[in-house]
Amino acid sequence: DILLIGGTGNISASITRELLARGDDVWLFNRGHNREFEQYGARYIIGDLSKPDEMKASLDGLKFDVVADFFCFTPEQAERDFELFRGRTGQFILVSTCTVYQKPLKTWPIREDTPLKNPYSTYAQNKIACELYLLERYREQDFPVTIVRPSHTYGETKLVGPLLSWMDSHWTLADRMLRSQEIIVHGDGRSLWTLTHSDDFAMGFCGLAGNPASIGHAFHITSDEHLTWNEIMTIFAHALGVEPRIVNIPSAFIEENWPKFKGSLFGDKAENLVFCTDKLKRFVPQYSPKIPFHMGIRRSLAWYQAHPEARIVDPPYNQEMDALIERYRKL
């Protein structure tokens, strides 16, 4: 039995589908807003992560071969998971992030033993604290933790852009290009970036789930394709049938003038993020990413075309981007 805390998001939905396809008994703990996997055999535990006592009661008497938490963001939440699942699972998978790696980077490619240090990102600092806490529980109390680190993982419902947070309306950027509006790419657009489709991520994740040799280890799960940001946005635009109108603006200027992205460039997207996946392939020999970006982005756009209700344009986002471009040109 495998319990996913979440199970219906961008990454976890692909994992749920993969686990069900291979015949696993899958349980999903979430608020029950999305019950699409029930028809395929997934079982739901309805609860609220912010209420540990309620969560503990809903898990009473249950044990799992694997538990994976996609919503552990702070050391307090990592402690909650330890208290909830020690003695209740054969493996606990912490879904961390590749943002934890050293910034600025000193060596390439990034390996799992690259130092963990990111002074620009509170999100990364909290994830580092979660990893360290659970690894200490592994060393001292044999808590069976495995750490997985996604990099930039997109899928059917998530598009791609250098200035696009997970909370933004992703269609807004596609709409800008369809309307021949300018889009911002940080720096000179030549930093290398790694994009991974959620279905490829699921292949690596499911190879680690239930794999006892992976306990005590950390793995990043990324594709082997590396593109510059200018290339990424050009491929995206061509999938839409248009040419991109890219405006390159220095990262420092963006972070100073668009506060919501402070730390997301120098702490992540402005770096050359190229990963070595040799360790993952030793533990999961069948891991071989199959969805290059030029194919994956077309799948994402096809999903949006089939779901007009998701093609939401965010006017304030557009106003911010237009204002930033105008401000930069006045320098």
Alpha-carbon separation of residue 239 from 258, 296, 302 (angstroms)? 28, 10, 10
Write down the pTM of the prediction. Answer: 0.96
Task: Read off the pLDDT of each residue in 259-269 and give the average, rounded to a whole number.
Answer: 93
What is the per-residue pLDDT across 20-65, written as a single tens digit (0 to 9) for each?
999 999 999 988 878 889 999 999 999 888 888 888 899 999 999 9
**306-225-147 Cα angle (round to 5):** 90
> Is-cis flag, bond preceding 250, omega within 30?
no
User: Is residue 316 predicted with pLDDT exceeding 80?
Assistant: yes
Q: Supply the mean pLDDT for the chain.
A: 96
How buried is 113 (Cβ within 10 angstroms: 0-12 exposed, 13-18 middle, 19+ buried)? exposed
From residue 248, alpha-carbon distances to 113, 231, 298 in Å are 33, 13, 24
CATH for the 2-153+196-221 domain, from 3.90.1150.10, 3.50.50.60, 3.40.50.720, 3.30.565.10: 3.40.50.720
What residue segments make up the domains of the chain, in order of their start? 2-153+196-221, 155-194+224-272+291-329
pLDDT tier, 289 (very low <50, low <70, confident <90, very high otherwise): very high
What pLDDT shows up at residue 215? 98
Q: How confident is the model at residue 268 (pLDDT cuts 50, 70, 90)?
A: very high
Band of residue 166 on the pLDDT scale cut at 50, 70, 90: confident
Instruction: Please check the confidence at residue 7 and state whether its pLDDT lies above 80.
Output: no
- Which helix H or strand E contains 185, and what residues bound it? strand 183-186
> Residue 31: its pLDDT value, please?
83
pLDDT exceeds cutoff 90 at 6? no
- pLDDT beyond 80 at 144: yes
Percentage of the chain with pLDDT > 90? 92
The whole-angstrom separation of Cα 142 and Cα 146 is 12
- Edge-to-edge strands, sheet with 66-69: 43-46, 26-30, 2-5, 66-69, 92-95, 145-150, 218-221
Span 155-194+224-272+291-329 CATH architecture: Alpha-Beta Complex (3.90)
